[in-house]
Amino acid sequence: MQIQFLYFEGCPSHEKGLARLKKVVAAEGINADIEVLEMVSDEQAAQWHFIGSPTILINGEDIIPPPADAAPALTCRVYQLEDGRFNPLPSEDMIRTALQAHRINE
């Protein structure tokens, strides 16, 4: 499984987000390296279709696929949690669900 963690330094929660991702990956018993990539330019954001920090890709797929018209940007990403609240980070359950879905498909 290939896991990538994309972030923008201007958002303060990326370290917390990366720690959360590592925690869930370990809890799921997944043996995979996490590639951490800093987005530093609009061109790079466009190349990765990075719509905000942090963005987590599993095998190249966003764990929460954004709308097709979402514009790449060096900004913070809005996640809507299971209970409807908005948050700068995905919940552990959101990450876990995506990891499990990819594991089933492998």
Partner 1 sequence: MALALGTSAVSFTLPGIDGSDHTLDDYSDKNAVAVIFSCNHCPYVLAWEDRLIALQNEYADKGVQFIAISANDAEKYPTDSFDNMKKHAAEKGFPFPYLYDESQATAKAYGAERTPEVFLFDADGNLTYHGAPDDNYEDAAAVQAQYFRDALEATLAGNAPATAQTAPVGCTIKWKPA
Least separation in angstroms between CB 80 and partner 1: 9
Out of 30, 32, 73, 96, which residue is the one contacting partner 1 (CB under 8 A)?
73
Number of residues in the chain: 106
List the beta bridge partners of residue 77. none
Query: Is residue 85 close enough to count as binding partner 1 by CB under 8 A?
Result: yes
Query: Is residue 88 close enough to count as binding partner 1 by CB under 8 A?
Result: yes
Query: Is residue 44 close enough to count as binding partner 1 by CB under 8 A?
Result: no
Query: Is residue 89 close enough to count as binding partner 1 by CB under 8 A?
Result: yes
Distance from C-alpha of 91 to C-alpha of 8, rounded to nearest angstrom: 19
Cα-Cα-Cα-Cα dihedral sign, residues 12, 61, 97, 65: positive
Classify burial at 29, counting beta carbons within 10 Å of its beta carbon; exposed 0-12, middle 13-18, buried 19 or more: exposed
Least separation in angstroms between CB 84 and partner 1: 11
Q: Report the residue number, 6 or 102, with the smaller CB distance to partner 1.
A: 6
Query: Is residue 63 close enough to count as binding partner 1 by CB under 8 A?
Result: no
